[in-house]
Structure 1
């Protein structure tokens, strides 16, 4: 079976093809056209891609996405997403692909799925939940670094706990590994999780402080 990163890439590409360029996503005001441009920029533009994760350089990413949309129609951008990184990119290497693309394509696949009417949570295979959990263990503290409350992420489909942010009061969030990933990446309104822990943490929690 192909790695989760590649299956999520293929499934997201199929979904974007079927929905067209104007479908909503959970990425703010972005449409599927914008998301396709973002994904292509991330893999194919070394000079503009840093603007995706570094706020001071965000204008580079915005200009890069605008340029891609001006130069390529939507079907072509989706085809570029589907085909994966160019031959010169380290992301074509299996381990690098798994590290950098597993969560990226899972989250963005759900960004499109869960922005459409009538969506329901997917039930992932255990091996896929494990892959997402491994990523969350690596990234949890980075994703919750700006939180003003402590955050414990507790897996319910298997044993596991990640203290994403130490502190008091502490919010305890329980769910399947994939749902906890979505929560940690700021998709708190659609993540199928249960929140508990200190009542004060729930009152003080700010979802806008999660994510990269």
Structure 2
């Protein structure tokens, strides 16, 4: 089976070329050229982003997408970064392009759902501080449950990948059931930060 990071990377590159450099994304203020440039700079010039951006813009969209398709340099190929960092980064940005451009929910991928559930629980640990007197409960559609904080509960139910989109600051792009008191739901929405 193709590793998640490579699968998401190649599918995103295909989609970027299909929609072109000026297509919208879920990243506010970014089109697909901005998103591709972000991914290129993140991998190739993480310590000096101002150096990578002009090069990407000068060489153009197809060049940037080609650089992404070629794969990441070290250290992005190490197992920990490959899965949690790059695999999920590319999944999220793949969905940023898909959802904004009217593409349907993809078929379930069990390896991606397992990885997303790990990330969901890591991201959710940070939320109770921002939820005030409310708690958060995650209920995965495959039976996983995780609870954080105390007080009136707001619950996210659905696929782990959908929770990941929500927890990474894309509530409008996710397909989840959100339940709980209105105050707890308001606190959850106010706590959103884009990653």
Q: TM-score, normalised by structure 1?
A: 0.82
Paired residues of 1:147 and 1:206 also in contact (CA < 8 A): no
Structure 1 residues 93 and 184: alpha-carbon distance in aligned structure 2, compared to 1, 3 A threshold: same
Paired residues of 2:84 and 2:119 also in contact (CA < 8 A): yes
Q: List runs of 5+ in structure 1 lacking aligned partners.
A: 49-60
Structure 1 residues 92 and 100: alpha-carbon distance in aligned structure 2, compared to 1, 3 A threshold: same
RMSD: 2.1
1:55 paired residue number? none
Q: List runs of 5+ in structure 2 lacking aligned partners.
A: none
1:71 paired residue number? 58
Partner Cα separation in structure 1 for residue 193 and residue 153 of structure 2: 15
Paired residues of 2:84 and 2:115 also in contact (CA < 8 A): no
2:110 paired residue number? 126
Q: TM-score, normalised by structure 2?
A: 0.88
Q: Counterparts of 1:68-147 in structure 2 under 5 Å?
A: 68-86=55-73, 89-117=74-102, 119-142=103-126, 146-147=130-131
Structure 1 residues 28 and 81: alpha-carbon distance in aligned structure 2, compared to 1, 3 A threshold: same
- Aligned partner of residue 153 in structure 1, secondary structure: strand
How many positions carry a matched residue from both structures?
194
Q: Counterparts of 1:147-162 in structure 2 under 5 Å?
A: 147-148=131-132, 149-156=134-141, 158-162=142-146
Partner Cα separation in structure 2 for residue 74 and residue 144 of structure 1: 40
Find 1:176's aligned residue among 135, 146, 159: 159
Paired residues of 2:13 and 2:69 also in contact (CA < 8 A): yes
- Aligned partner of residue 178 in structure 2, secondary structure: strand
